[in-house]
Amino acid sequence: MNRALDHAGLAALLDRPGVRRVLAALEAPGAETRLIGGCVRDALLGVQTADIDMATTLPPEAVIAAARRMPGLKAVPTGIEHGTVTLVAEDGPIEVTTLREDIETDGRHAVVRFGTDFDRDAARRDFTINALSLDAAGTAHDPVGGLADLQAGRVRFIGDPATRIREDALRILRFFRFQARFGAGAADEAALAACVAARDSLDRLSRERVRAEFLKLLAASGGPALVATLSATGLLQRITGGVGELGRLERAAAAALSPVMRLAALAVGARHDADRLRDQLRLSKAEHAQLVGYADASADLRTRAVVEAAALRALAAGHGLPLLTDTLAILAGEPRPVVTDEALSALRTLGRDGGPPAFPLAGADLVAAGVSPGPAIGRGLSAARKAWLEQGCPVGPAVKDELLIRALKSAR
């Protein structure tokens, strides 16, 4: 592979209003500020990113002072202890970091000092394609061969891969994510070998950092292929605590499902898997709920040899149409269930209609019919809802009357 790079994208990056304003604010005798990292890389690929980073020889205090003198800029010291100041412009925030040099690292944190050498700053970064920089005059600087690697679809560590990983073990997952997004062909052998050799260091990372990076990997276009490599090398089990359903992940990716649903497809076979992943990856309550919902919906589907239209409407009412649609996409082509053509047509109809009909009965209906508030209301509604789902979620005044009769019998 030898992709063409979009050098006009660099000019477009420099022409963004916020970029122009920040570069003008930080212009000073003997100082230099450049756009750096992912925004330069993405501009060369014709991608406009919202995340803009700059590196400067100015100390953080000077960056803040310069921003205060420039109308339309607000300085926020988001990481000033590490030399980072966020400058908020009219079209979004820009992170400005004073050049740094590592003094020592322990695989999670680095002790740094401020510097003035862009090449030395580039040497402390992770991958060659992330060490590109662009000065205010429009010159691209490439001290470590990132341009050639970007053209060729190569993801390489800067210098010795093992050393880069010892500095921060999260770079193991970042390597796989960047390979999934930018790589072409086989992964770099030296990098892959170093990642596998350092697998124990993943255990020292915070689960939150692992979660964020792994979900980004799952969202990448080449995610399934790289997750397969993680599985083959034993790294996947370190991350998820279990084995992976690679075929289901491929189907989830092909259906453009969310990263959390891709995680469900890959690693959830039952409810206990959702609980394990919640603990293993420090998932949010909402993310855990999605995994539990998928576990329940897939279990409900896989107990059925065939799903007819009425059953599909009931499943949509019970699990929600979006979740059911995602789950069917993940399970497509497996022996169970077989979804009939009529059921698929019903699914499309529900999508056009905004989802399944609402259960037509409420507790107030039972109270109006003479049932005292309390457990009897719950018994009656539960029995009526069960019957309604079994009938395929019918609608109409007669349906409500029939359900009320059933609910009253069960409430007694």
The CATH 3.30.460.10 domain(s) of the chain lie at 1-153
For residues 45 and 88, the answer to whether their CB atoms sit within 8 Å is: no
How large is the angle between the packed helices 207-219 and 271-281, nearest 10 degrees?
120
For residues 59 and 97, the answer to whether their CB atoms sit within 8 Å is: no
Three-class SS of residue 186?
coil
Angular region, 393: left φ>0, alpha ψ -120 to 50, beta rest: left
Task: Enter the CATH code of domain 1-153.
Answer: 3.30.460.10
* Alpha carbon distances (Å) from 305 to 70, 302, 312, 315, 316: 68, 7, 13, 14, 17
Distance in angstroms (rounded) separating the CA atoms of residues 172 and 238? 12
Tell me which amino acid residue 185 is.
Answer: G
Of residues 35, 8, 67, 1, the one with CA closest to residue 131: 35
Q: What pLDDT, on a 0 to 100 scale, did the predictor assign at position 315?
A: 92
Q: What pLDDT, on a 0 to 100 scale, did the predictor assign at position 392?
A: 83
Angular region, 362: left φ>0, alpha ψ -120 to 50, beta rest: beta
Of residues 96, 141, 99, 148, the one with CA closest to residue 120: 99
Model confidence over 121-145: pLDDT tens digits? 999 899 999 999 999 999 999 999 9
Tell me which long-range contacts 77-85 makes (C-beta under 8 A, separation of at least 24): 82/112, 83/59, 83/112, 83/114, 84/60, 85/60
Tell me which amino acid residue 100 is.
Answer: R
**Structure tokens given for 243:** 């084995």
Predicted TM-score of the model (pTM): 0.86
Q: What pLDDT, on a 0 to 100 scale, did the predictor assign at position 394?
A: 85
- Could you tell me the mean pLDDT of each successive run of 10 residues in the chain, 412 residues long? 88 96 96 96 93 95 95 91 92 94 57 81 94 96 96 96 95 97 94 96 95 97 96 95 95 97 97 97 97 97 92 91 96 93 93 86 91 92 89 86 90 82
* Alpha carbon distances (Å) from 332 to 120, 141, 266: 51, 48, 14
Distance in angstroms (rounded) separating the CA atoms of residues 195 and 390? 52
Q: What pLDDT, on a 0 to 100 scale, did the predictor assign at position 106?
A: 53
Q: What pLDDT, on a 0 to 100 scale, did the predictor assign at position 335?
A: 92
What is the CA 154 to chain-centroid distance, rounded? 23
Tell me which amino acid residue 210 is.
Answer: V
Those residues with Cβ within 8 angstroms of residue 111's Cβ, 6 or more apart along the chain or in another chain: 102, 103, 104, 105
Those residues with Cβ within 8 angstroms of residue 320's Cβ, 6 or more apart along the chain or in another chain: 293, 355
Four-residue CA torsion sign, 205, 230, 223, 161? positive
Q: Are strands 306-307 and 338-339 parallel, antiparallel or unpaired?
A: parallel
* Alpha carbon distances (Å) from 102 to 95, 110, 120, 121, 327: 19, 6, 10, 9, 47
Distance in angstroms (rounded) separating the CA atoms of residues 290 and 391? 27
DSSP one-letter code for 303? T
Model confidence over 302-332: pLDDT tens digits? 999 999 998 998 999 989 999 999 999 999 9
Q: What pLDDT, on a 0 to 100 scale, did the predictor assign at position 395?
A: 82
For residues 378 and 411, the answer to whether their CB atoms sit within 8 Å is: no
